[in-house]
Amino acid sequence: MSDHRSAVAAEPDLAHHGDAEVGDGLIDLAVNVRRASPPAWLAEPIAATLSDLARYPDPTPARAAVAARHRRHPNEVLLTAGAAEGFVLIAQALRGVRRPVVVHPQFTEPEAALRAAGHTVERLLLDVADDFRLDPARVPADADLVMIGNPTNPTSVLHPAETIAALARPGRVLVVDEAFADTTIAPGHPGEPESLAERRDLPGLLVVRSLTKTWGLAGLRIGYLLGAPELLTRLAAVQPLWAVSTPALAAASACASAVAVRAERAIAADLATDRDHLVARLADLPGVRLVGRPASAFVLLRVPGASRVRSALRERGWAVRRGDTFPGLGPDWLRVAVRDRDTTDAFVDVLREIMEA
């Protein structure tokens, strides 16, 4: 959390992030970053760069590797210091847009970056009565910048690719934050079921990706944007020189390999099993309601008096993410990360005791 920005952020506090809720020895169900150590095929290339840090970074090989992974040309890839930098580049480079619309509830940094760049942001709030699903007709026709997450943090909704694709049109930049796309899976589908990463036919599409979540690389800062070369050239023009470090570039190359993609699919399958277990355990908890069918590494819970419940959980050693800092949610929401079965069982037992007290 960045204190200097929280002072100027509009309510709710867009600068609040789950990492502010952990610490003090709490078990962390607030942050959606996978905690397993990086596999050797990832750790070793990153470590190998430590003997080569006197040189400035060269993004060329990583760019080519990422492009190949998504069946794109290297000039359709812009490597960034995490997805977060991607949002800033978009906000800074596209200062000329007149009607930027952010679809909420979603991760708050896209809107925060737009505001910091001086944009007047319009919020489109999805409705809990629709399980936070998007009706594309609700997006104003003259919105020339639209930002949406898929799957969405914090709702865990996975919008159909065609619903998102329907938002693309000439004269509009459509930003799809796919930071969690690698956590999604569908029976019979070989890849990420609703991703637009490979779509080259949609005008103005910018796909934002992150290597933070599945690979546990939040501290390394590596992500990328996929889109048309003309658009990426505009964003690259406002990016600081050498923004992505040599170790981060090594991670980008490694995570684009066939081995990595296979491993990602296996992790997503395990995650789905763990998520099913969490969902089943939550099903009969008094006062706790799960929205829709969660599709990512976290679930969103409607819990009347969530603040009291969150405090009680903290007293018992558990950190969950408050929901009230997300536009479109209120005081009655908590986001809970999917963890292994034992952690889930221990968590749900404590939550049950609190809810039944």
Ligand X SMILES: Cc1ncc(COP(=O)(O)O)c(C=O)c1O
Catalog residues that contact ligand X under the rule CB under 6 A: 82-84, 107, 149, 153, 177, 179-180, 210, 212, 218, 223
CA dihedral defined by 130, 109, 82, 217, rounded to 10 degrees?
-70
With CA atoms as reference, report the closest residue to 154 among 300, 348, 10. 300
Q: Which is nearer to ligand X, 204 or 223 (CB)?
A: 223
Q: How many CB atoms lie within 10 A of CB 79?
A: 22
Structure tokens at 32: 């959606």
Question: Would you say 106 or 246 has its CB closer to ligand X?
Answer: 106
Q: Which residue type, as a one-letter code, is found at position 307? A: S
Contact 333, 310 (CB under 8 A): no
3-class state of residue 18 by DSSP:
helix
Select 13 or 177, whichever has its Cβ closest to ligand X: 177
Q: How far is the CB of 219 from ligand X (least distance, A)?
A: 9
Nearest distance from C-beta of residue 179 to ligand X, angstroms: 3
In whole angstroms, give the CA distance from residue 272 to residue 252: 25
296 φ, ψ to 5°?
A: -130, -155
Q: Report which residue type is found at 52.
A: D
Burial class (CB in 10 A: 0-12, 13-18, 19+), 284: exposed
**Smallest distance, Å, CB 312 to ligand X?**
25
Query: Nearest distance from residue 222's CB to ligand X, in Å?
Result: 7
Closest by CA position to 100, among listed 174, 202, 5, 196: 174
CB nearer ligand X, residue 177 or residue 324: 177
Q: Minimum CB separation from ligand X for residue 82, in Å?
A: 3
Q: Cis ω on the peptide bond leading into residue 105 (within 30° of 0)?
A: yes
Give the nearest residue (CB) to ligand X: 82
Please state the closest distance from residue 229 (CB atom) to ligand X, in A: 22
- Closer to ligand X by Cβ: residue 77 or 348: 77
Judge whether 209 and 150 are in contact, CB under 8 Å.
no
Shortest Cβ 180–ligand X spacing (Å): 6
3-state secondary structure of 149: strand
In angstroms, what is the minimal distance from the CB of 2 to ligand X? 13
Three-state SS for 300? Answer: strand
Cβ proximity to ligand X: between 223 and 323 the closer is 223
Cβ proximity to ligand X, 86 vs 100, nearer residue: 86
Q: How far is the CB of 141 from ligand X (least distance, A)?
A: 26
Could you tell me whether strands 223-227 and 205-210 are parallel, antiparallel, or unpaired per DSSP bridges?
Answer: antiparallel
Alpha carbons 43 and 60: distance in angstroms, whole number: 20
Q: Min. distance of Cβ 170 from ligand X in angstroms?
A: 26
For ligand X, the closer of residues 339 and 354 by Cβ is 339
Q: Which is nearer to ligand X, 147 or 303 (CB)?
A: 147
Sign of the dihedral defined by the CA atoms of residues 250, 256, 258, 264, in that order: positive
Question: Which amino acid, 216?
Answer: G
- Phi then psi for residue 301, to 5 deg, are -115, 135
What does the longest C-alpha to C-alpha distance in the chain come to?
Answer: 60
CB closer to ligand X, 255 vs 348:
255
